[in-house]
Amino acid sequence: MHRRVYSLLLTASVPLAFGRLLWRSRHTPAYRQRWPQRLGFITPGPPGGVWLHAVSVGEVNAALPLIGALQHARPDLPLLVTTTTPTGSAQLRSRVGDSVAHCYLPYDLPGAVQRFLGRQRPRLGIILETELWPNLYATAQALQIPLLLANARLSPRSARGYGRWPQLTRQTLERLAAVGAQTAADGERLRALGLPPGRLTVTGNLKFDAAAPDPAPGLALRQRLGEGRPVWLAASTHAGEEQAALSAHRLLRAGHPDAVLILAPRHPQRFAEVVRLCREQGWATALRSADDAQRCAVYLADSLGELPSLMAAADIVFVGGSLGTSPTARGGHNLIEPAQLGKPSLFGPHMNNFAELRDLVLAAAAGQQVTNDADLAARLMALLADPARRAVMGQAAQALVAQHRGATARTLALINPYLEPG
């Protein structure tokens, strides 16, 4: 596909994109806000700063160690962080406040990205994970703004998707000044798609460098749920996975009648739907928003930004986006957060977005893969009956995190040449 054809198709889809924002705003009103930014109409910031793009909550969390390192290395340089979602924006503000500027990244329309980059004029752009936007990259090159892809990951499935448009993907990758990949396998997939030789460095995963969360709020929640009660968390669940978690919980409570399930859906627009599901099935359900945790069987986390505290409250963490068939299976979610807290993790078979990390966790015996709700219940019962085994798995998880630290320093070394004055 030629970039001109891509631009025409993208332009034609703009009404659909804004219609989708309006649809999502039914449950998340923030999707109705700041629409001009989606077209590049931003308030110009000081030129010559650093611009970093992190799509949503996961990428923002990965960016935090790098943001801190950049602010320490060059406190004189203004830092703009863009996100795509309101949840990413909220997470950024909750973690770094007003120490960085923020706006939404515009859609990849020629005029929109020209306005955005022309008004901001950064000396460097850093794109986290894998966001390949042909017009954004071409405009940055035309304006002589070097772009770096940091913490890059590319699953085999995503590589096949980009491979459908080989010419456009190759041209986009050729515009990158440098790439810091999470793993050698991610780097090889990028090279196979056309990343020029000599621009790739395997830097590791920035999420290993994130500061361990404060366990105190989680321990306080654990006390409110009831001392001595077994607690497990189903984290970042997608449609269909809540039903699987509730089925597993029913089986678990046959042997552990006091067990509590903390249920944390991935997307806030689904909170009301999941509350209905729990109550229709007769579960005594407490809501985080009501600050009610007394003698419930299911504690629904209808809030954002509190996943680390929920993990700290649990004995075992099931990581969602990984169980069932499409559209339930989303390729999994990050396993590093429970590992930081020394929690054994369980996850389904669909971890293609985190395949290398899954393999590390399994090899370290820090987590286990499950196949369905009955298997999930069986693993939960076995682990709850064996505190010593849980402790060994948790220690292995924390050792795994310690072993893979250092990505921030390696990424900063990749960035430093572009931060020099001039």
DSSP 108: S
Q: How does 305-329 read in b/e, with b if 16+ C-beta sit within 10 Å?
A: ebbbbbbbbbbbbbbbbbbbeeebb
Paired sense of beta strands 147-152 and 79-83, if any? unpaired
Paired sense of beta strands 345-347 and 124-128, if any? unpaired
* Separation in Å, CA 8 to CA 26, 108, 113, 132, 241: 29, 11, 15, 17, 38
* Separation in Å, CA 195 to CA 90, 223, 346, 388: 33, 52, 35, 47
30 token code pair: 């923030």
What does the CA dihedral 301, 303, 309, 315 come to, rounded to 10 degrees? 10
DSSP 138: H
Q: Which residues belong to the active site?
A: 59
Contact predicate 203/182, CB 8 Å: yes
